[in-house]
């Protein structure tokens, strides 16, 4: 029985050696892969040279926070600009006409200058043969306290309807 036990012991030893060799090869392959990963994590290129993954993530978080702050500031500035623009006299219409039947060339005109709320003024210039007169009337919400001529009403209507309205 001794030779059979010796033979079994040899087979077990040979199997253990083969298992150890396979384990050694697997450990070596794992070590190489881990080394490559560590090198990759350690050597991320940042603005100031190589940095770790944690440093890169922290830097990205700081940059993101700064960008969010800049976007918030830009939104506030845009809201202020829109509010300022609403008060600007940007709705303009001009109506040209002949104020007197004996004059030609449509030298008289009425210009409406209004903001988004319909507030502003109407300028009317009436040209005759020997003189010209200019009038200004205030406008609030598309209406005036003074009596408006048909040309003045037309210029206000055109300004309020204008392009984009």
73 and 54 in a common domain: yes
132 and 151 in a common domain: yes
Tens-digit pLDDT profile for residues 147-157? 999 999 999 99
99 and 147 in a common domain: yes
Residue 128 counted as domain residue: yes
The domain containing residue 109 runs over which residues?
A: 91-161
String of DSSP letters for 97-163? E-SSTT--S--EEEEEEE-TTS-EEEEEEEE-SS-EEEEEEEEBTTB-SSPPPHHHHHHHHHHHHTT
Query: What pLDDT shows up at residue 1?
Result: 47
Tell me which of 45-54, 99-108, 154-163 is least confident.
45-54
Last residue of a domain, one of 69, 86, 103: 86
Number of domain units in the chain: 2
User: Confidence class of residue 64 from pLDDT cuts 50, 70 and 90?
Assistant: very high
For residue 103, pLDDT beyond 70? no
157 and 97 in a common domain: yes
Helices (H) and strands (E) in the chain — how many of each?
Answer: 3, 6
Count other Cβ atoms within 10 Å, centred on residue 8: 10
121 and 82 in a common domain: no
111 and 56 in a common domain: no
125 and 77 in a common domain: no
78 and 96 in a common domain: no
Q: 143, 102, 106, 149: which is closest to 124 by C-alpha? A: 149
Average pLDDT of the segment spanning 72-98: 91
Residue 99 counted as domain residue: yes
The C-alpha atoms of residue 142 and residue 118 are separated, in whole angstroms, by 5
């Amino acid at each position: 029985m001794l030779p059979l036990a010796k033979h079994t012991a040899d087979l077990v030893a040979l199997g253990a050696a083969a298992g150890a060799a396979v384990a050694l090869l697997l450990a070596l392959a794992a070590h190489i892969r881990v080394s490559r990963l560590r090198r990759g994590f350690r050597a991320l290129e940042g603005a100031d040279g190589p940095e770790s993954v944690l440093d890169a993530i922290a830097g990205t978080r700081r940059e993101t926070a700064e960008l969010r702050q800049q976007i918030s500031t830009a939104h506030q500035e845009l809201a202020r600009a829109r509010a300022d623009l609403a008060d600007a006299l940007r709705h303009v219409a001009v109506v040209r006409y002949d104020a007197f039947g004996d004059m030609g060339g449509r030298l008289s005109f009425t210009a409406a200058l209004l903001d988004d709320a319909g507030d502003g003024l109407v300028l009317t210039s009436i040209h005759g043969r020997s003189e010209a007169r200019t009038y200004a009337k205030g406008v609030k919400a598309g209406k005036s306290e003074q009596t408006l001529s048909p040309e003045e009403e037309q210029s206000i209507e055109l300004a309020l309807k204008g392009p984009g309205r």
